[in-house]
Structure 1
């Protein structure tokens, strides 16, 4: 493997980003990308994909290479938003996907998505080849990679609900990660207000002199400040009767193509958010 050149981090990223508590280091994720970017050749990776289209090594390496080529654009996913998306059943027509962001990485909150080895999945990297209609993605839990090469040639995509996945099986876990990535891509499209477009510069002094100060940027967020919706049922305290008691549960969210405009002839994707229903006595 070719050694990363001096100053690789500055060369491979759009901007240095300050550390975010509860997430893996952005620099560490970029270092993983750089290991591939500086040691692989795109044409060799493509030839490997042609001869071995299902080979995980080529899928992962090619995805990381393309993210490095794009200079590692990244979004940090809000924890509540991710959990709300996991409680949503999403189905959409393929021609509804605009893919405004075709290459990048999602930085995931620690402890939400666990690999079959029960390790936190730190990031998902993706590249969409719009000419070939192929989506490549890979994810890492710090020691293992999970990946998929997916041809978008069907009429409809249904994203499997998280409760239907057996994460003990790698194939099932890949399906689970695939559904998460597509949910995140979809939410960027149908809820653009969740997507940061600018980030502030922060001057960080890592030494004792002004010459050691360095400019860092605030992270770009997907869903910063988002809190999932909840609603309570009637409290069981001080009440009587034989009514049943509900446990805490989710009312599932879903995605729909909502008509709008003149004659309601146009369609737009709308996310009906899930609601966490708190436990309590059911009212009569």
Structure 2
């Protein structure tokens, strides 16, 4: 859901906030001293966004989109949830993969999720809203009626309460783009795995068809990322210090304690496939779309495992 909070750009607002010393939440967050790769949203700006949203998460003067987004940002903070960087090549593969509507995968997704709150950093400039603004991160949270502890927390002088919801499981995502617009949406999953999605307004600004399409594009990134985490990525790969500095700079890690995000990317052995096609009858270069498939595995092949059939670029 969309609402414009200020006409000024996000960067200039946050720069002023930082120069003035931020607030108590900002000072707490910056002590973590996250080091993030250069082509992603940097830590001081992300910490500013979280600090401002967390401070306002119970402000009833805000509309529902802002309050829900604030609640999820605050949850991420009090739960000390991780940061992931989505690799640009993997993001492209996600855009060429069909999620499908088979209920089994959504039901299985909830039981396999390794985490329930995360900040997903997107490559700078890789995701553009209808007005040309950049969405460079997504705050993702999964809530479940049987696990209220996933959606509450108290730390750093901040108490985040559980918010009741209509579906058995809800997956929400939110962000503030580079023009200061709040985006918030998600979907519900019921006990039978049925997916419930709505495109209604939570903010004061009425969404047009382009906005709704854009939210569906963001929703696809969230779905694919959670499915990749649940069914494909077998281990945690942490960003290295060398990946956070420019070429030609010193490679020795700083002495002070630093935190590093996790990568969401393909392992080196798994590369994007390029099919050269035939000779004289080859079609124009195009993507052969990927999909998710449930396969029989284990002794007697009685167990089931979801596998990602990656898209293939077909061309001469």
Q: Distance in 1 between matches of 2:196 and 2:275?
A: 28
Matched residue SS, 2:132: coil
**Cα distance, 1:58–1:37 mapped onto 2, change above 3 Å:** closer
Residue 261 of structure 2 corresponds to residue 223 of structure 1: no
Range that drifts further, 60-69 or 216-225: 216-225
Larger strand percent: 1
User: Do residues 90 (structure 1) and 131 (structure 2) align?
Assistant: no
Q: 1:277 maps to what in 2? A: 314
Answering whether residue 120 of structure 2 is matched by residue 103 of structure 1, we say no
CA RMSD of aligned residues (A): 3.2
| Contact 2:135/2:175, CA 8 A, preserved across alignment | yes
Corresponding residue for 1:176? 217
Change (3 A) 1:63 1:82: same
Say whether the 8 Å CA contact 2:30–2:44 is kept in structure 1. Answer: no
Partner of 1:164: none
Residue in structure 1 matched with residue 236 of structure 2 by the alignment: 196
- How far the C-alpha of 1:60 sits from its partner, in A, is 1.5
Gaps of 5+ in 2: 1-16, 146-167, 198-207, 245-253
Q: Distance in 1 between matches of 2:196 and 2:96?
A: 14
Query: Equivalent of 1:155, from 193, 206, 210?
Result: 193
Q: What SS does the corresponding residue of 1:12 show, helix, strand or coil? A: helix
The total of aligned residue pairs comes to: 246
Structure 1 contact 232–277 (Cα < 8 Å) conserved: yes
Contact 1:255–1:270 (8 Å) recurs in 2: yes
Q: Distance in 1 between matches of 2:303 and 2:282?
A: 43
**By how many angstroms is 1:83 displaced?**
0.4
Residues 275, 257 of structure 1: CA spacing in aligned structure 2 closer, same or farther, 3 A cutoff? Answer: same
* Cα distance in 2 for residues equivalent to 1:39 and 1:112: 29
| Shift, 1:149, TM fit | 4.3
Q: Is 2:177 the counterpart of 1:141?
A: yes
Q: Sort the Cα spacing of 1:13 and 1:230 in 2 relative to 1 into closer, same or farther, 3 A.
A: farther
Asked if the contact 2:39–2:123 (Cα under 8 Å) also holds between the matched residues in 1, the reply is yes
Looking at structure 2, the residues matched to 189 and 88 of structure 1 have their Cα atoms a distance apart, in angstroms, of: 16
Structure 1 gaps, min length 5: 160-166, 205-211, 236-242, 280-284
SS at match of 1:185: helix
Is residue 116–residue 173 contact of structure 1 (8 Å, CA) maintained in 2?
yes
How far does residue 245 in structure 1 lie from its aligned partner after superposition? 4.5
Deviation at 1:186, TM superposition (A): 0.3
Q: CA deviation at 1:72?
A: 4.7
Structure with the greater relative contact order (CA < 8 A, sep ≥ 6): 1 or 2? 2
Tell me by how many angstroms 1:104 deviates: 0.9
Q: Within the alignment, does 1:58 sit opposite 2:67 as a pair?
A: yes
Q: Rg bigger for which structure?
A: 1
Kept in 1, the 8 Å contact 2:292–2:308? The answer is yes
**Cα distance 1:139–1:227, how it changes in 2: closer, same or farther (>3 A)?**
farther
The alignment's TM-score, normalised by the length of structure 1, stands at 0.75
